[in-house]
Amino acid sequence: MRKTYIAVTLVALVVIVTSHLMSPSSGRAVSPEDFAGACAPCGAPCPSAKK
């Protein structure tokens, strides 16, 4: 199991660093709740917004 953990940990690190370096970043970390009209932690709209 240790070998699995070493492999998973190192692959995850490479993927995170690569993804970070190759992706745009708008500045401070955001949550979907930061956006106008978000009604849930995932950013779903409020039921009233659809009516």
Partner 1 sequence: MTTATLSAPDIRPARFDPLFLALSIGISAVLIALVLLDGQPASAALILGGFGLGAAFLKAEFSYTASWRRFLNKGEAGGLLGGFIVIAIAALLIVPVAAMGGRYGGAIAPIGPSLLIGAFAFGLGMQLANGCGSGTLYTAGGGSGRMLVTLAFFVIGSVFGSLSLPAFLRLGGIDPVLASSYFGPWGGLLVTLASLAVASAIIVSIAKKRGANFTPNRTYIVGGLIIGALCAFVFLAGGHPWSVTFGYTVWGAKIATFLGFDLSHAEFWNWDGPKLALKQSVLSDTSSLTDFGMLLGAMAAAAATKPFARTAWPPFGSLVAAAVGGLICGWGARIGFGCNIGAFIGGVASGSLHGWIWFVMALAGSFIGIRLRPLFGLSRD
Residues that bind partner 1 (CB under 8 A): 1-2, 4-6, 8-9, 13, 16-17, 19-20, 23-48, 50
Residue 38: exposure state from Cβ atoms within 10 A (0-12, 13-18, ≥19):
middle
CB of 19 to partner 1, least distance (A): 6
d(CA 17, CA 4): 20
CB of 27 to partner 1, least distance (A): 7
CB of 5 to partner 1, least distance (A): 5
DSSP label at residue 36: T
